[in-house]
Amino acid sequence: MNKPAYPALDLSLATTTPLEKRPSKVSLAMLAKPSNYSADGTSIDSLIPSVLKGADLKAVADAWASAIQRGRGVILGMGAHPIKVGLSQLIIDLIERGYINGLAGTGAVALHDWELATHGHTSEEVADGLPEGRFGMAADTAVAYWKAVELAQRENYGLGQAVGCLLSTETDKVGPSILATCYNCAMPSTLHVTIGADTAHMHPGSDGPLSGVLRYVTSVSSDNW
């Protein structure tokens, strides 16, 4: 059977336009400018292009600096990935300098913060452990998590405060802890747990009702913001 012949596309029919008339998303003014960088670091923004996430980062930095200059508070909302990608000590430094005044995290923040602080390592390959039911099943982590939940219930703490308290007063730390720093600096830290979704909830001894009675509202969000 003969293959059908397909004629070549006639590109002479394409519509073109002068470059000067075409809208562009990137201009010279948006490029990173290493030559403008000074050794004192005051012009570090010159190393960041004002494009896509670079523009977002600059907007966050400007809003953050404005809040501090106006005496307003800054709450850092985060999941566990800042811990997993090595930013714990940077966040701790910002807390200790007073550039962060409150922290709101996911339940996973407690797990990874505790592992890094007490064992010096955290995070695992999901694809390796999930098929065999091993992902998230480190016993030590879950035991510590539920110990913190019990402390929170007993002392009328929030979970973030309870984890920070345990890490500060009952554990010999080998690594940095964001939640312990919050506790030691008397800075509010709240953990917003999805009950039944964090890995600690899959362990023997997990207690959904105990999680449910924890104090979950704090006035910090309306005190200085």
DSSP string, 38-83: -TTSTTGGGGS-SSTHHHHHHHHHHHHHHHHHTT---EEEE-SHHH
CA distance 142 to 203: 7
Cβ–Cβ < 8 Å for 176, 117? yes
Cβ–Cβ < 8 Å for 149, 209? no
Q: Both tokens of residue 121?
A: 């390592």
Q: State the SS3 of 143-177.
A: HHHHHHHHHHHHHCCCHHHHHHHHHHHCCCCCCCC
At 108, give phi and psi (nearest 5°): -65, -25
pLDDT at residue 2, rounded to an integer: 73
Q: What single-letter DSSP state applies at residue 28?
A: G
**At 105, which helix (H) or strand (E)?**
strand 102-106
pLDDT at residue 6, rounded to an integer: 82
Cβ–Cβ < 8 Å for 48, 54? yes
pLDDT at residue 202, rounded to an integer: 86
Per-residue pLDDT of the chain (225 residues; tens, 9 = 90+): 677 678 888 899 899 999 999 999 889 988 888 887 777 766 788 888 999 999 999 999 999 999 999 999 999 999 999 999 999 999 999 999 999 999 999 999 999 999 999 999 998 888 888 888 888 778 899 899 999 999 999 998 999 999 999 999 876 788 999 999 999 999 999 999 888 888 888 888 888 888 877 765 556 555 555
Q: What single-letter DSSP state applies at residue 139?
A: H
pLDDT at residue 171, rounded to an integer: 67
The closest of 125, 121, 131, 110 to 194, measured between CA atoms, is 110
Its pTM stands at 0.82
The closest of 185, 140, 182, 176 to 161, measured between CA atoms, is 182
